[in-house]
Chains A and B, each alone.
Chain A
């Protein structure tokens, strides 16, 4: 793990606290709707983002990662719950939206769609600072400085349009744009997922360097577990709009507690021919988030599910080492009988898995 807490000499303190965040999308019916049901994209999420850390968020597509990112950025208003940034509630009088958006920025997955096709690169980057009151001349200077910093020579790139750049270059521009307002927190929503592997590595290195230089905090959303493992200090595992496991990356990856996390980790393709699965670790698609399963939402797909799992709702339970899991198996007195916990996940042929 190259990502460390090196930049933060003092004790880590939460930069952002997320409490009971909830966002349901009512299903739109055309005309006279019977708008009863809704998609529970984010369904009661709580966690802290420590200053200076890289917090990863993983989960299958459709589990609400992106919606959560948008709610955190307040691009979508949450139904309930709150986001506290640096001790102040976002959207309050103490931290109005505009002020919050100088502190937190976001890099989107689609590097092309997130840049205005009719604006030059330098204008796109300078836009944020100008909005926040910097003079256009100064904003352009900063835009050029940032371009140089992300590895794009201003003389060559500043006057160009997004479609003239490659995907990797565009994502560098997006990073520069996010940094232009000098934020503390950068939310990276699948920011490198669309890039070629070689380019991805370069951009990841750039992100690491920038983080160290500018003392940034990252919320790194990705479905690529390898990248998350490489980059993140802590990891959140999401399933159907809820947090099922949270903990230090090393902990979660090396000794996952939640059956879903285990299954997810097993689904990571490995180059090791000895490490081969006999059965798919996760079968079926994620259930419908409109009518999530009762009890533990993972129970229909869980290999160690017991009858109690369809009734009782697990809550995040601390299991030491800043590691918490939402599974009845780890909740004492939940009615789950550990004795019958046999069989478990499909076997892996080699007993020892060596991490390269």
Chain B
């Protein structure tokens, strides 16, 4: 098992390096000079050359990449052009906020999605199943930024129950766990929960259906096990896969929150990304994407390992 663990980590390392390379290349993908955003428009050719040398842009790409990775490993992702603060500092503040949002959204989405999935899987082809699958199709088809707007219209504009945007009454961006702050969290989290809801519902429905169709369930029933007992067996057998899906969805939401954060002006990574893009703050852009992608890879790894621990059948030696 430890061998598997090591192998799985060893497998993730090249992926991480590839991710780093892709993030590094983002800056060089950008049209024009990588310095164009910091240089004043009237900069002399001399100044430009000087800066090129200063930032190391005059060296060959592999060398630049090596340097960049080396510094990143030491926790130095460069300096934000817009705020002049270290990128790492900016990113970690935002990651915290996004994490709060994504976790709550995942929990809501997972709970509701599993519920629909169980109903659908248990009563296959009944009207309840059909209703549940309609809901899950709607869930995966909704443009979430739009449903965010619709929810704002309903709950903020019409009913005036919840604030339409921001992450707290003071606007400082410093998160606190109190009623005033949580009110700001509810709408974006609920909006975001639509993303995993449909996928979780579909997965759970398929899982439950498959398990119920298996012979051991027939055997359990034949031996006189009550419906509740059968249900417990089903849950036990679904759990590893369902939890894996949940973990992956959390990772997905962390990186895919940008549109929703923009709608709600939630001061998370997505919002930061948005800023970075429109201020052409390429070091910040690079840093945010690198951290989010690495997080996603790490989460994938964690889910794999966790699944192995949970599922006795998977003996990956």
Contact = CB atoms under 8 A, between A and B. Distances in A.
A18 B10 CA distance: 43
Nearest to B9: A31
Contacts, number: 9
Contacts of B7: 29-32
A32 B13 CA distance: 12
The B interface is mostly helix, strand or loop, or mixed, namely helix
Contacts of B11: 30-31
Chain A's interface size range is under 10
A46 B109 CA distance: 64
Nearest to A32: B10
Query: Which of A29, A30, A31, A32 is packed against the most chain B CB atoms within 10 Å?
Result: A31
Nearest to B11: A31
Interface string B249-262: 00000000000000
A30 B9 CA distance: 12
Interface in B4-18: 7-8, 10-11
A322 to B, nearest CB: 47
Interface string A19-39: 000000000011110000000
Contacts of A29: 7
B315 to A, nearest CB: 13
Contacts of B8: 31
A30 B8 CA distance: 9
Contacts of B10: 31-32
Nearest to A29: B7
A41 B8 CA distance: 29
Contacts of A30: 7, 11
A30 B12 CA distance: 13
A30 B5 CA distance: 12
Interface in A13-71: 29-32
Interface string A181-221: 00000000000000000000000000000000000000000
B17 to A, nearest CB: 15
A32 B11 CA distance: 8
Contacts of A31: 7-8, 10-11
9 contacts: A29-B7, A30-B7, A30-B11, A31-B7, A31-B8, A31-B10, A31-B11, A32-B7, A32-B10
Given A30-B11, A31-B7, A31-B11, 6 more contacts: A29-B7, A30-B7, A31-B8, A31-B10, A32-B7, A32-B10
Interface of B: 7-8, 10-11
Q: Which 7 A-B pairs have the closest CB atoms?
A: A31-B7, A31-B11, A31-B10, A32-B10, A30-B7, A32-B7, A30-B11
